[in-house]
């Protein structure tokens, strides 16, 4: 086969993949100057007339579609006994290629996949008649440089309803819904295929290799510890082998996935613990590593495209545009990592401040109880509170002054110096917040400590108000220059002789 097609307008520069319905090539439209994907179906090697019908159907269906997450039709023609379909090339990497490299998707990426699939399937299934893809699988899903997903290869599409049956069995084992083995294809069949694809990308295993219960995939056993309960429930419904029970749309399930969980209740407030800082470090490490891994993958793809562009040839411009797209995606992943780290730092700061305020208010209420005529907290219990606050101070100091700042500074090593300054500033902000929290808790601890030390004296003297440090007497003195307030000192302290003379003089003036 020649590298030039349609009188030299299209030039083939590489191979993108091969399937049962034809071979797809990487090409360039020299007239428009854009990268294209060229799918070739050799009529002479077709085993049955049905294969040729599927190729013509793909062209017809793709020509009628217009959606940002689907390939855009450009041209079709026949040359040298083969049918050619030309469409815009979707930059990115198929999920099947990710699987070959041993990569899996995070829960966040899978939810993004489900959201994009819901958008595309609603568009296809609401057409008249409905368009059923019938072969959704990792090889037909492209992850773009910006993290979104596109869906390709409509070689197995069904676009006509046949009330009398007779539909051909088309699909890929493991990703096909059970009803497709009977020649039936429904909107719910595509939902099953997307659910199986999501499971495969979460676990890194093919659907047929996952645990089963009867004919159904045991989703809970396959995803134990890998996904949230709500996502597990959603995938259980999507891969239900009974099409009558399986949802025909993904969007309603996504709405439930996004809804707040009313069953969750806030945990009871307690003393500040280092677990917050530990969670901070674990969350930061896991999410940040994921973001950086994506950025590095995109940068590697960009370098690969740049190397191909440097080799020259008619497709050099297309390769360079592809490299720019991958670079742009890498920058977005880096920015996402930075935003995530800063948000975690702010959240750790807010938690530390809230807990410090709660501890201070609790200690302040305990210290002020005698002023309202209630019995002072027994000194052994007060000492227990003091020890608890001391442990909390140590925990906050370790978490906010050591662990969190160290994690942020470690993160900054993965960024250029200009961006690293942001993480350094966040580290300093977390440290200052920790110091503020420690100061508040230390003040509360000192007040409790004074109360605990004063309690034995109050028990012996029988006067809790006096032990609490209440002044012995207060005198208001009138004078020509204004009003003076004198507070007598505790513990037998006395004023100076000059003060006593002033008192005597004032007393004489009062009698007169």
pLDDT at 155: 67
User: Is the residue at 378 inside a domain?
Assistant: yes
Is pLDDT above 60 for 501? no
pLDDT of 270-303, one tens digit each? Answer: 333 334 444 445 455 566 667 777 778 788 878 8
pLDDT at 41: 86
Is pLDDT above 60 for 238? yes
CATH of the domain at 57: 3.30.200.20
Is pLDDT above 70 for 489? no
Mean pLDDT, to the nearest integer, of 178-198? 93
Note whether 39 and 156 are same-domain residues. Answer: no
Reading the block at residue 122, the tokens are 């609603």
The larger pLDDT score, comparing residue 153 to residue 200, is at 200
pLDDT of 143-182, one tens digit each? Answer: 999 999 999 987 665 554 343 334 455 668 889 999 988 8
Note whether 15 and 29 are same-domain residues. Answer: yes
What are the residues facing 156 on neighbouring strands?
none
Domain end (from 88, 117, 139): 88
pLDDT at 408: 76
User: Is the residue at 270 inside a domain?
Assistant: no
Lowest mean pLDDT among 60-64, 109-113, 456-460, 469-473: 469-473
Note whether 98 and 246 are same-domain residues. Answer: yes
Note whether 106 and 212 are same-domain residues. Answer: yes
CB 187 within 8 A of CB 250: no
pTM of the model: 0.54
What domain range includes position 9? 4-88
User: Is the residue at 23 inside a domain?
Assistant: yes
Reading the block at residue 212, the tokens are 């089963």
Note whether 8 and 30 are same-domain residues. Answer: yes
pLDDT band per the 50, 70, 90 thresholds, residue 469: very low
Mean pLDDT, to the nearest integer, of 31-56? 79
User: Is the residue at 268 inside a domain?
Assistant: no
CB 107 within 8 A of CB 227: yes
pLDDT at 490: 41
pLDDT of 382-401, one tens digit each? Answer: 777 778 878 888 887 887 77
pLDDT at 242: 94
pLDDT at 451: 59
pLDDT at 210: 95
Average pLDDT, the chain: 76
Is pLDDT above 60 for 479? no
Overall size of the chain counted in residues: 512
In which residue are the tokens 């002023």 written? Answer: 371
pLDDT at 467: 39
Note whether 203 and 326 are same-domain residues. Answer: no
pLDDT band per the 50, 70, 90 thresholds, residue 49: low
Counting the structural domains of the chain, the total is: 4
d(CA 476, CA 26): 96
Note whether 72 and 109 are same-domain residues. Answer: no
CB 100 within 8 A of CB 335: no
Is pLDDT above 80 for 78? yes
Note whether 411 and 497 are same-domain residues. Answer: no
Note whether 382 and 507 are same-domain residues. Answer: no
């Amino acid at each position: 086969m020649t590298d030039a097609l349609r009188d030299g307008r299209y030039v083939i520069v590489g191979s993108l993949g091969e399937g049962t319905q034809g071979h797809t090539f990487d090409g360039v439209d020299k007239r428009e100057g854009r990268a294209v994907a060229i799918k070739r179906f050799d009529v002479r090697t077709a085993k049955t007339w049905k294969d040729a019908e599927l190729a013509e159907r793909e062209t017809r269906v793709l020509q009628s579609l217009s959606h940002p997450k689907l390939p855009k039709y450009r041209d079709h023609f026949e040359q040298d006994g083969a049918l050619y379909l030309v469409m815009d090339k979707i930059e990115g990497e198929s999920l099947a290629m990710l699987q070959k490299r041993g990569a899996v998707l995070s829960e966040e990426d899978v939810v993004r996949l489900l959201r994009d699939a819901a958008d595309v399937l609603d568009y296809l299934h609401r057409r008249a008649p409905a368009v059923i893809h019938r072969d959704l699988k990792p090889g037909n899903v492209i992850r773009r440089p910006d993290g979104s997903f596109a869906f390709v290869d409509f070689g197995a599409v069904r676009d006509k309803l046949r009330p009398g049956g007779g539909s051909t069995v088309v699909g890929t084992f493991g990703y096909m819904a059970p009803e497709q083995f009977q020649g039936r294809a429904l909107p719910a069949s595509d939902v099953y295929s997307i659910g199986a694809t999501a499971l495969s990308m979460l676990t890194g295993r093919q659907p047929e290799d996952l645990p089963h219960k009867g004919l159904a995939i045991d989703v809970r056993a396959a995803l134990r510890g890998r996904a949230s309960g709500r996502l597990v429930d959603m995938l259980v419904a999507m891969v239900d082998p009974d099409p009558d029970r399986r949802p025909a749309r993904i969007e309603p399930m996504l709405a439930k996935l996004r809804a707040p969980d009313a069953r969750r209740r806030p945990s009871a407030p307690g003393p500040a613990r280092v677990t917050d800082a530990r969670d901070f470090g674990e969350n930061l490490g896991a999410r940040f590593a994921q973001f950086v891994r994506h950025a590095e993958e995109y940068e590697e793809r960009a370098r690969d495209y740049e190397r191909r562009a440097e080799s020259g040839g008619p497709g050099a411009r297309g390769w360079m545009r592809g490299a720019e797209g991958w670079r742009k995606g890498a920058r977005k992943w880096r920015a996402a990592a930075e935003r995530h780290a800063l948000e975690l730092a702010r959240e750790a700061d807010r938690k530390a401040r809230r807990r410090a305020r709660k501890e201070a208010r609790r200690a302040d209420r305990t210290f002020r109880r005698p002023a309202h005529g209630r019995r002072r907290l027994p000194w052994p219990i007060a000492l227990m509170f003091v020890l608890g606050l001391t442990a909390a101070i140590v925990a906050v100091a370790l978490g906010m002054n050591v662990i969190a700042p160290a994690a942020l500074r470690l993160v900054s090593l993965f960024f250029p110096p200009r961006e690293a300054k942001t993480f350094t500033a966040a580290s300093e902000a977390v440290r200052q917040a920790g110091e503020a929290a420690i100061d508040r808790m230390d003040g509360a601890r000192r007040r409790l400590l004074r109360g605990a030390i004063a309690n034995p004296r109050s028990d012996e003297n029988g006067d809790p108000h006096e032990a609490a440090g209440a002044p012995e007497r207060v005198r208001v003195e009138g004078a020509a220059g204004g009003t003076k307030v004198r507070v007598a000192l505790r513990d037998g302290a006395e004023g100076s002789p000059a003060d006593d003379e002033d008192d005597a003089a004032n007393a004489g003036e009062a009698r007169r």
